[in-house]
């Protein structure tokens, strides 16, 4: 079995320019170039003040670490804390998940004869969120008729139980009369 060397020091950046990493070199280099160009355009006193400020800032960004993190991270967090509101209200970010290597398929259109998905979804939601019983009830048109007898309802009678497959008019009374025709011993 082949042995592989375990990578070490993966958190340290490689030294590119002498003892400096590329990021450190860029901070010091940009500050040096700006100082060089300002030397020819500004008075000596103003140039000296700005060079000291830029040198300190570039040195802080290049070499300073705060709580084990680069100074640029600390600076960005401090700036965001100052400019963002102090009371945080949750705001959903619309981020579309992307899967690398999976091609994006075009959106399919519904067939012209089929109902729209929104109608199906609305029907489903109305069924799921109803508090009423799914059993249909007979409702009287006015409250005075509510105390009267219930109108007959068409109910199918299955032929395996009763020996016939006809639809028969029955009321909401017990099935004693119907069952008594077939077998008198079931209901007493």
pLDDT digits (tens, 9 = 90+) for 131-177: 656 566 665 556 555 555 555 555 555 444 444 544 444 444 555 55
pLDDT digits (tens, 9 = 90+) for 75-123: 999 999 999 887 777 778 877 777 777 777 777 776 666 556 677 877 8
3-state secondary structure the chain: CCCCCCCCCCCCCCCCECCECHHHHHHHHHHHHHHHHHHHHCCHHHHHHHHHHHHHHHHHHHHCEECCEEHHHHHHHHHHHHHCCCCCCCCCCCCCCCCCCCCCCCCCCCCCCCCCHHHHHHHHHHHHCCCCCCCCCCCCCCHHHHHCCCCCEEEECCHHHHCCCCEEEECCCCCHHHHHHHCCCCCC
Residue 17 covered by a domain: no
Contact 146, 137 (CB under 8 A): no
**Res 128: pLDDT:** 74
Residue 78 covered by a domain: yes
pTM of the model: 0.43
* Total structural domains within the chain: 1
**Res 86: pLDDT:** 79
Quote the domain boundaries for residue 79: 22-83
Closest CA to 61 of 46, 73, 74, 72: 72
Closest CA to 153 of 139, 138, 134, 165: 138
Residue 184 covered by a domain: no
Residue 89 covered by a domain: no
**Res 15: pLDDT:** 85
pLDDT digits (tens, 9 = 90+) for 15-64: 888 888 999 999 999 999 999 999 999 999 999 999 999 999 999 999 99
Residue 187 covered by a domain: no
86 to each of 55, 61, 82, 83, 91, how far by Cα in Å? 32, 26, 8, 9, 14
Q: Report the alpha-carbon distance of residue 120 to residue 164 in Å, rounded.
A: 37
Residue 135 covered by a domain: no
**Res 58: pLDDT:** 96
**Res 52: pLDDT:** 97
Residue 113 covered by a domain: no
Residue 69 covered by a domain: yes
């Amino acid at each position: 079995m082949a042995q592989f060397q375990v990578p070490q020091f993966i958190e340290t950046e490689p030294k590119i320019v002498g003892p400096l990493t590329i990021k450190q070199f860029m901070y010091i280099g940009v500050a040096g170039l700006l100082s060089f160009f300002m030397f020819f355009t500004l008075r000596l006193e103003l140039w000296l003040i700005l060079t000291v400020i830029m040198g300190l800032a570039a040195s802080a960004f290049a070499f300073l670490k705060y709580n084990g993190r680069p100074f640029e991270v600390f600076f960005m967090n401090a700036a965001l804390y100052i400019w963002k509101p102090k009371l945080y209200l949750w705001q959903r970010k619309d981020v579309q998940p992307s899967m690398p290597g999976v091609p994006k398929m075009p959106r399919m259109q519904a067939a012209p004869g089929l109902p729209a998905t929104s109608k199906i979804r609305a029907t489903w939601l109305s069924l799921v969120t109803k508090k009423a019983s799914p059993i249909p009830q007979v409702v009287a048109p006015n409250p005075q008729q509510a105390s009267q007898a219930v109108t007959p309802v068409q109910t199918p009678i299955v032929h395996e139980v009763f020996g016939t497959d006809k639809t028969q008019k029955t009321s909401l009374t017990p099935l004693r009369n119907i069952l008594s025709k077939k077998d008198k011993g079931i209901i007493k």
